[in-house]
Amino acid sequence: MLPWRRLLRPLAVLSLAAALVVPTGAAHAASAPSSGWNNWSCKPSAAHPRPVVLVHGTLGNSVDNWLGFAPYLVHRGYCVYSLDYGQLPGVPLFHGLGPIDKSAGQLDVFVDKVLASTGAAKTDIVGHSQGGMMPNYYLKFLGGAPKVNALIGFAPDNHGTTLSGLTQLLPYFPGAEDLISASTPGLADQIAGSAFVTKLNAGGDTVPGVKYTVIATRYDEVVTPYRSAFLSGSNVHNVVLQDLCALDISEHVTIALTDRIAWHEALNALDPAHAERTTCASVFS
Q: Domains in the chain, please, with CATH? A: 3-284 (3.40.50.1820)
How far is 65 from 86, CA to CA, in rounded Å?
15
Per-residue pLDDT at 18: 33
- Contacts of 195 by beta carbon, 8 Å cutoff, 6+ apart: none
Per-residue pLDDT at 176: 55
Residue 87 exposed, middle or buried by CB count within 10 Å (0-12, 13-18, 19+):
middle
Strand partners, 123: 148
CA angle 8, 11, 15 (to 5 degrees): 140
Decide: 224 and 168 in contact? Cβ < 8 Å.
no
**Residues 67-108: pLDDT tens digits?**
999 999 999 999 999 999 999 998 888 999 999 999 999 999
Query: Average pLDDT in the 17-45 region?
Result: 60
Mean pLDDT computed over every residue of the chain? 87
pLDDT tier, 30 (very low <50, low <70, confident <90, very high otherwise): very low
**Residues 121-133: pLDDT tens digits?**
999 999 999 999 9
- Whether residue 27 is predicted with pLDDT greater than 50 in this model: the reply is no
